[in-house]
Every structure is written in C-alpha cells, then in structure tokens.
C-alpha cells in the first residue's frame, strides 16, 4: 500500500549511506543539504506550494541549499543532491529514462502530489486508447513520443517518501523537508478527511444533506475544505490508510447515487491510486452487469 505511513524506503537507509544517516549538516563544518526539485508530467501546482511558503521560505532557504529548482531560479547546480522533490508522473519514454537519472544523483527521493504519487488526472488515459487522445489533441501526432500510460514515480524507482495531495499541503511539505533535514522520518497523519470535519465542527454533508462524499476513504491533508463549503470530498489527497472503498461505494449506490456520479468522483486526480482504481473498476463492472441484465428487457 502506498501511503505516508508506509513509505517504501527508510530514509535512514539511503543508497549513499552517509555517516549517521542524516542530512543535517553540523552548523560549521559541513555544507547545508542540497535540495533539488524536478518536474515530470504535471501542472507545477505542487512546486508552487513550495514558493507559496512565503513566510517560511527564507528560513527554509537557510536550512537547505536550493541547488536545482528551475521553476524558482535560473541557477542550476549539477548533482549529487541530498534531497530530491519530484513532481509529476511518467508519461514519456524520455521521462522514464530521466527519473532513473534523478534516482542515481539523489540520496533521498520524495515524490510530491497526486501526479507523482498516483499518476495524476492524466492517468485517465490508462482507461482509454492513448493514440485516440493524441489524434484529438495534436495536429501532427506522429511527432509526439508518449507512453500508453501515466504512472506514479514509485512504479519506476524506489521512493523514500510519498507526499499526497492535489495540490500538496505546503505545511506538510515543510514538515517533510524539515524531517529529512533533521534526519528524522516524516510522520504525517494518515486518517480520513472525516476526522478533520469533526475537529472543525463541520456538519457531515453526506449524512445531513445526502451529498456523496469520498471523505471516509480519503487521506487527510486538505483540512476538509469541500465539506466545509457544502460539497462532498473529491479525494484530492488519495486513499487514506486501509480505506474501505467497497463499503462506501456500495452504500452510495444503495442510497441513490448513480454509478455515473460515482465513477468520475473516483477517477479523478488520484483515480489510478490502487485502492481508488480497484473501486472504480468495480463500480464500472457492477453498472455494466446491471445494464446487461436490463438490455434484453429493453429490446
């Protein structure tokens, strides 16, 4: 399972197992840890979250040396890097090569955002024929070199930590950077959005208004923004720890939410995350089965 609590590698066991297994430089003798930010197929929103940390940015810049961050600075230092933040998914053969290079030159790799951790909204093409998409979008598709799928970074390389969200929560990002700088393993909560609703006193929109809501199976991080504004959760932060997607989708279908409402809700920014993917495939199969039972009667 992918989740903030079950990161695929222990940061203490990075491949360049440096002394004491920590990025933290002692104040005088060693340079600050070198940070790099890489972009793959994505909208840049997550990188912008880092720039968005206005108040904290200067302090962050003191804690790390920002060695490679094309979005923010024209100064691009070569590797190796101590910490690589990777935004975006893998959608081209070239990127599939490039991510290997990132892994080679980085001690710790942290993927940020729904694209990098789950394939992003562009993974909708995983359910379609990508040649069709190419024809619709590009005048000369023969010049486009692309893969048939959009896949998360962890499908290609070992990832030390995955930070969820579309976009990520900047406070969580700072917490993750700081944890690596201090040689600690990041420890972010993995509970559902429902707990955030309750901490805020937000009344449940599913129970009080019958609005379908992915909150019970969605990872914390957004502060329950949507329910607070009378909308159901869209699952921007991906699956929570051990989500019971089957129970929630069955309940929605039984209480009048149609498969055509539920499917786009599940096949969203995190639609290709394994738990959501399995849930949407199941809803699709159920509704196809229901339709095929109905068809002979309709004829």
Partner 1 sequence: MSSKPSSEFPFSPPAPDSPANHNPDGTSLFLPRDDLNTLIGKLTADGYQVVGPRLEQEAIIYGEISGADDLPIGWTDLQEAGKYRLQPRGDQAFFGYTVGPHSWKKFLFPPVAVVATAERDGTGWKLDTPDAEPPKYAFLGVRACELAAIKVQDRVFLGGPYTDPIYQKRRNAAFIIAVNCTQAASTCFCTSMNTGPRCTAGFDLALTEISDGFLLEIGSAAGNAVASGLSLQPASDEQSGRGESARQQAVSQISKHMDTTDIRDLLMGNLQHPRWDDVANRCLSCTNCTMVCPTCFCSSVKDVSDLTGDHIDRERRWDSCFNMDFSYMNGAPVRNSIHSRYRQWMTHKLASWHDQFGSSGCVGCGRCITWCPTGIDLTEEVAAIRSSPSSGRSERPPISDAEVSAT
**Contacting residues toward ligand SF4, per CB under 6 A:** 193-194, 197, 204-206, 213, 215-216, 224, 227, 233
Q: Of the two residues 168 and 240, which places its CB atom closer to ligand SF4 in the complex?
A: 240
Among partner 1, ligand SF4, none, the one that 56 touches (CB under a kind-dependent 5 to 8 A) is partner 1
Closest CA to 20 of 196, 158, 136, 183: 183
Q: Of the two residues 135 and 191, which places its CB atom closer to ligand SF4 in the complex?
A: 191
Among partner 1, ligand SF4, none, the one that 235 touches (CB under a kind-dependent 5 to 8 A) is none
Cα-to-chain-centroid distance, residue 61: 24
Cα-to-chain-centroid distance, residue 227: 21
- As given in the structure block, the two tokens for residue 244 are 């019971």
Question: What's the rounded Cα separation, in Å, for the pair 116 and 154?
Answer: 8
Three-state DSSP class for 87? Answer: strand
Min CB(149)–partner 1 separation in Å: 30
Q: Of the two residues 59 and 285, which places its CB atom closer to partner 1 in the complex?
A: 59
Min CB(209)–partner 1 separation in Å: 5
Question: What's the rounded Cα separation, in Å, for the pair 133 and 14?
Answer: 39
Looking at the DSSP bridge assignments, the partners of residue 161 are 110
- As given in the structure block, the two tokens for residue 248 are 């929630």
Question: What's the rounded Cα separation, in Å, for the pair 148 and 130?
Answer: 6
- As given in the structure block, the two tokens for residue 182 are 């201090």
Q: Of the two residues 124 and 195, which places its CB atom closer to partner 1 in the complex?
A: 195
Closest CA to 204 of 221, 219, 192: 192
Among ligand SF4, partner 1, none, the one that 174 touches (CB under a kind-dependent 5 to 8 A) is partner 1
Min CB(3)–ligand SF4 separation in Å: 18
Q: Of the two residues 115 and 240, which places its CB atom closer to partner 1 in the complex?
A: 240
Q: Which residues bind partner 1 (CB under 8 A)?
A: 5, 56, 59-60, 63, 174, 178, 182, 189-192, 194-195, 198-204, 206-210, 213, 215-217, 230, 241-244, 246-248, 251, 255
- As given in the structure block, the two tokens for residue 255 are 């209480």
Question: What's the rounded Cα separation, in Å, for the pair 294 and 289?
Answer: 9
Among partner 1, ligand SF4, none, the one that 233 touches (CB under a kind-dependent 5 to 8 A) is ligand SF4
Among ligand SF4, partner 1, none, the one that 190 touches (CB under a kind-dependent 5 to 8 A) is partner 1
């Amino acid at each position: 399972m992918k989740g903030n609590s079950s990161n695929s590698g222990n940061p203490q066991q990075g491949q360049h197992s440096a002394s004491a297994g920590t990025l933290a430089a002692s104040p005088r003798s060693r340079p600050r840890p070198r940070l790099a930010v890489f972009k793959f197929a994505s909208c840049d929103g997550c990188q912008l979250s880092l720039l968005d940390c206005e108040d904290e940015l200067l302090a962050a810049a003191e804690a790390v040396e920002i060695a490679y961050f094309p979005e923010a600075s024209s100064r691009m230092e070569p590797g190796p890097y101590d910490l690589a933040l990777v935004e975006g998914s893998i959608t081209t053969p070239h990127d599939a090569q490039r991510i290997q290079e990132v892994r080679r030159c980085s001690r710790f790799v942290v993927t940020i955002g729904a694209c990098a951790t789950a394939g992003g909204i562009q993974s909708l093409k995983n359910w379609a024929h990508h040649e069709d998409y190419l024809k619709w979008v590009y005048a000369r598709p023969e010049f486009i070199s692309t893969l048939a799928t959009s896949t998360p970074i962890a499908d290609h390389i070992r990832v030390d930590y995955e930070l969820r969200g579309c976009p990520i929560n900047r406070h969580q990002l700072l917490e993750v950077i700081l944890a690596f700088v201090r040689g600690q393993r990041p420890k972010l909560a993995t509970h559902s959005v429902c707990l955030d609703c309750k901490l805020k006193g937000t009344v449940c929109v599913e129970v009080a208004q019958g609005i379908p809501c992915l909150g019970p199976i969605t990872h914390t991080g957004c502060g329950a923004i949507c329910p607070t504004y009378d909308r159901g959760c869209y699952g921007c932060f991906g699956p929570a720890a051990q989500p019971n997607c089957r129970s929630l989708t069955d309940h929605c279908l039984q209480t009048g939410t149609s498969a055509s409402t539920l499917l786009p809700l599940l096949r969203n920014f995190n639609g290709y995350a394994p738990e959501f993917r399995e849930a949407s495939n199941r809803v699709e199969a159920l509704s196809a089965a229901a339709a095929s039972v109905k068809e002979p009667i309709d004829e």
